[in-house]
Structure 1
Amino acid sequence: MTDENSVALATDQIIDITTTGRQSGEQRRIEIWYHRFDGRYFITGAPGRPRSWYANLVADPEFTFHLKQSTTADLAATARPVTEPAEREEVFAGILPPLADFIRTPGQEPEVWIAGSPLVEVTFA
């Protein structure tokens, strides 16, 4: 990994991801935020409706993590769904505080995120 990529991973927030459609097999690219916690990288979404990106990563965890803010790079990555309750609590305790204004709205409380948000840990090839 280049120094530019390492700096971007440490400072940027918004990326694109390209997943493989679980039914179509076609490449699907979306914009999403990522989070850093305890030296690891995570992708999540607000609680509520099912997310296609998450279902795609559960079916095929290999994807492309596209840096696009301070630098551009396409990084091969693997997603690991975080499903164990204690780990989810720990991770959300680390990534939700910067989103404090957002999670104060009804239905967005931390316990709702822990119970009903998609969450994957990202590792890079």
Structure 2
Amino acid sequence: MDHAVRRSLAITTTSSASARTVDISTTGARTGRARRIEIWFYRVDGEIYLTTHPARRSWYANLLANPEFTFHLKNGARADLAATAEPVLDTDKRRHIFLAIVDDLNQPLHRGYLSQPVQPVANWVSGSPLMHVTFH
């Protein structure tokens, strides 16, 4: 991985919304068709995660069925990174990760970009999709 890509992935709580915005291309769980969406990614303990506010998400179902996907950097560096997603199911690990994510989202820098208030950590742990990303 080149320096610009590593720098783009090294977001912190002070990183802007655009710095953490990527596209992901998944394979549809039912259709087998390519799907591309825009999503924020998060960095916790040096690892990359995908999640959203508590809800059922088609991208999560797609990654459960077909964990190989493409992580498209589009801010800072531009790169299409081959990746694998793995669901984070352990409750203690989920709580640890979501504590960091909710803390990140509660930074004043992000409040203007959020369409709804940040829900309590317990809601995230019980109702949010959470994927750990590994790059090839």
TM band (smaller chain): over 0.9
TM-score, normalised on structure 2? 0.85
Secondary structure, aligned partner of 1:31? strand
Shift of 1:93: 1.3
Shift of 1:13: 0.3
What is the count of residue pairs matched by the alignment? 122
**Aligned-CA RMSD value:** 1.4
Gapped regions of structure 2 (runs ≥ 5)? 12-18
Shift of 1:71: 1.4
Percent identity between the two aligned chains: 48
| Residue type of the alignment partner of 2:58 | S
Secondary structure, aligned partner of 1:34? strand
| Structure 1 match to 2:2 | 2
Secondary structure, aligned partner of 1:42? strand
- Equivalents in 2 of 1:105, 1:6: separation in Å? 31
TM-score, normalised on structure 1? 0.92
1:54 aligned residue (44, 60, 73): 60
1:29 aligned residue (26, 30, 36): 36
CA offsets per residue over residues 10-52 of structure 1, 9 Å max, x none? 133000000000111111000000000101000001003x100
Task: List structure 1 segments (4+ residues) > 4 angstroms apart after TM superposition.
Answer: none
Gapped regions of structure 1 (runs ≥ 5)? none
